[in-house]
Amino acid sequence: MQTTESATPPESLDELLTHLRKNFASYSSQFQAGVRYLLDHPREIPLLSMRKIAAGAGVKPATLVRLAQFLGFDGWQSLRELFVESVRGGPQPYTKRAKALIRVSGSRKMLSEMLEVQHRNLDVTGGNNGDSISVAVDLISSAANVYVAGFRSCFPVAFSFHYVYRLFRPTVHLIRGEAGTLEMDLRSLTKKDAVVVVSFAPYSMEILRVADAAHEAGCRVVALTDSTVAPIALRADCTLLFPVDSPSFFPSITAAVALSEALVEQLLAKKGKGAIKALEQSEDQLHQTGAYIPPQRHGSSEA
């Protein structure tokens, strides 16, 4: 009875995926179910546990182990490492993806595909963070101060988290690093604080400097990122994962924004009545200072 397909396993992700497609028809039904998931969801493999991948494929975890061994690997982790290495290598250049996008026609089709991918990103985010988000809430809520950092395309995620969280907690600070002042922003970090860092591949040098400084200061670090092997994840006490898949030329931050909003929601719930009082005060102040356009009076007309 043949227990392995080859004594030498594929050495790259492209080689593995090509091999799986070529030999798909010869596999058992259980192996086909596992292979189909690997082929259809390659970016999810570094993010999900073997148990969740097996559940998504409709097989038992042991089937994935046997599949890996059949392909010549010593176990599941060795096979998974090919997917992890692909993530480390970073996404395709934006220009290359943009050129491919130009060749696609039909705005309705493009919109439909974009929404479909975003729905899938949100589903994956929900499945990845059910347990870890409560850990993140505990770390953040118990800190004396909370610092938030995200640069370039991740800045909107960090800013939104900071803005909404600050509505009911004044000790939340956004690390900006404007005019080369990042070192000054990092001086105030202490072991009593928590730092929330947001980034995805290719990871910015600034966010790595923040994560390093927070780790050295003894802060609790919560990373919102795209992989468990992201540089900021390796320095974090808790990691929340989001996919960045997009049919467009640039990675998507939709799931990252949703994850940050879910985090703030749970932080509010944990704080309870104190958060409600602080939020009420913030709302009153915003209205009193003229931050919002007042609603028009019913029945009024312009002269």
Note the pLDDT tens digit of each residue in 173-211.
999 988 888 999 999 999 999 999 999 988 999 999 999
Average pLDDT estimate for 246-253: 88
Q: What percent of the chain has pLDDT over 70?
A: 88
pLDDT computed for residue 93 by the predictor: 66
User: What are the extents of the domains in the chain?
Assistant: 13-88, 127-288
Q: Which residue has the higher pLDDT, 248 or 152?
A: 152
Residue range 96-143, pLDDT digits in tens: 666 655 655 556 777 888 888 899 889 989 988 988 999 999 999 999
Q: Using CA atoms, how far apart are residues 248 and 288, in angstroms rounded to an integer?
A: 42
Beta carbons of 221 and 235 less than 8 angstroms apart:
yes
User: Which two structure tokens, joined as six digits, stand for 219?
Assistant: 């802060």
Residues present in the chain in total? 303
Residue 242 has pLDDT above 70, yes or no: yes
More confident residue, 8 or 270: 270
Task: Note the CATH number of domain 13-88.
Answer: 1.10.10.10
| Residue in the block written with tokens 């039904």 | 29
pLDDT averaged over every residue in the chain: 87
**Sorting pLDDT into bands at 50, 70 and 90, what band is 302?**
very low
Equal fold, 13-88 vs 127-288: no
State the SS3 of the chain: CCCCCCCCCCCCHHHHHHHHHHHHHHCCHHHHHHHHHHHHCCCCCCCCCHHHHHHHHCCCHHHHHHHHHHCCCCCHHHHHHHHHHHHHCCCCCHHHHHHHHHCCCCHHHHHHHHHHHHHHHHHHHHHHCCCHHHHHHHHHHCCCCEEEEECHHHHHHHHHHHHHHHCCCCCEEECCCHHHCHHHHHCCCCCCCEEEEECCCCCCHHHHHHHHHHHHHCCEEEEEECCCCCCCCCCCCEEEECCCCCCCCCCCCHHHHHHHHHHHHHHHHHHCHHHHHHHHHHHHHHHHCCCCCCCCCCCCCCC
> Residue 6: is its pLDDT beyond 70?
no
* CATH code 3.40.50.10490 for 127-288: yes
What global pTM score does this model have?
0.69
